[in-house]
Amino acid sequence: MSKKITVSKAIREGLLEEMRRDDKMFIMGEDMAVMGNVFAITTGFLDEFGPNRVIDTPISEEGFLGMAVGAAMRGMHPCVELMYDDFVTVCADPLFNQAAKLKYMSGGQCSIPLVLRMPMGSGRRNAGQHSQSLEGMVCHFPGLKVVAPCSAADAKGLIKSALRDPDPVVVFEHKLLYAKKEEIPEDEDYLVPIGKANVKREGKDLTIITWSREVNFSMEAAEKLAAEGIDVEVLDLRTLVPIDWEAIKASIAKTHNVIIVSEEVKRGSYAGEISAQIAEELFDELDAPVERVCGLNIVSPFSPVLEDQNFPHPDDIVKAVKRVLNK
């Protein structure tokens, strides 16, 4: 059995089921309790679980994430939300120096079962400080798992898997996917395994590696290319760390051409890290150089016309595929 719900409601459903299953879990963040989250994801949670498990915080990301790390060390299972992923820079120390490292620095004596949810991405006219895609920065730090779902089913399945993981997991949720309606399984035990990519579309001419909202744009581009006789494979990573390298190898061994599509700023991007790894380890499989299709190296504009030029659209992906294939 399945049902059709939005991505935001799928995340809400995953959180709700895990809160009911695990009495050590609690939720905290700005406007998470009384307001029920700026995207209405935790509406009603305060009434059901009370103020000890659904906690409104001050605008002090470093403070409340640090508190969550301490709670995780003591055996609790915190789920923290930053209102925007842009604010991860404010709480860099508790995330990158504490949550990511304490298991290793304690010789495995403590684990940090912490989930950090972060809405990400451009397109909502939120300007430079509320529109970034910072997955590349987060993926740099060993000790963190990182996921970025593109669908309602994956959003629910990955958030539930993250909440059951003994290690810190960062969940990037694109803001413009929240309203997208899709079918999801009606199963409280439905999980999507962390570390497994998903072939969204099989093809033989070229592989598109992507994640989050750009999966949808890549699928649109694939349909346009199919009409011109170009058959591309779309590989949705879903998990960025640990990356599903076997899925990448299998796809490139079949198509021998690859582009990587992401919304993040191109300079210093995670797309660049993946392209370097492909060049180092799969060079002999390639018929052409790897190409990246990413956001521009600029501050995200407030102007709608300018902002829409700042991240890849289907036509940009089509052009990149044709360049690689020399079409």
Token pair, residue 310, equals 């700042």
User: Is there a cis peptide before residue 242, judged by omega within 30 degrees of 0?
Assistant: yes
> Which residue is associated with the tokens 């890549």?
218
**Helix, strand, or coil (residue 32):** coil
Cα maximum dimension of the chain:
60
Dihedral angle, C-alpha 302, 306, 312, 314, nearest 10 °: 120
Going by C-beta distance under 8 Å and a sequence separation of 6 or more, which residues neighbour residue 124? 130, 131, 175, 176
Query: Is 80 in contact with 54 (CB distance < 8 Å)?
Result: no
Token pair, residue 79, equals 């789920």
Q: Which residues are catalytic?
A: 61, 130
Q: Which of 14, 42, 1 is nearest to 188 (CA)?
A: 14
Cα distance between the two ends of the chain: 44
Q: For 10-114, where are the E strands, in sequence order?
A: 25-29, 54-56, 77-81
Residue 12: what are its φ and ψ, rounded to 5°?
Answer: -55, -45
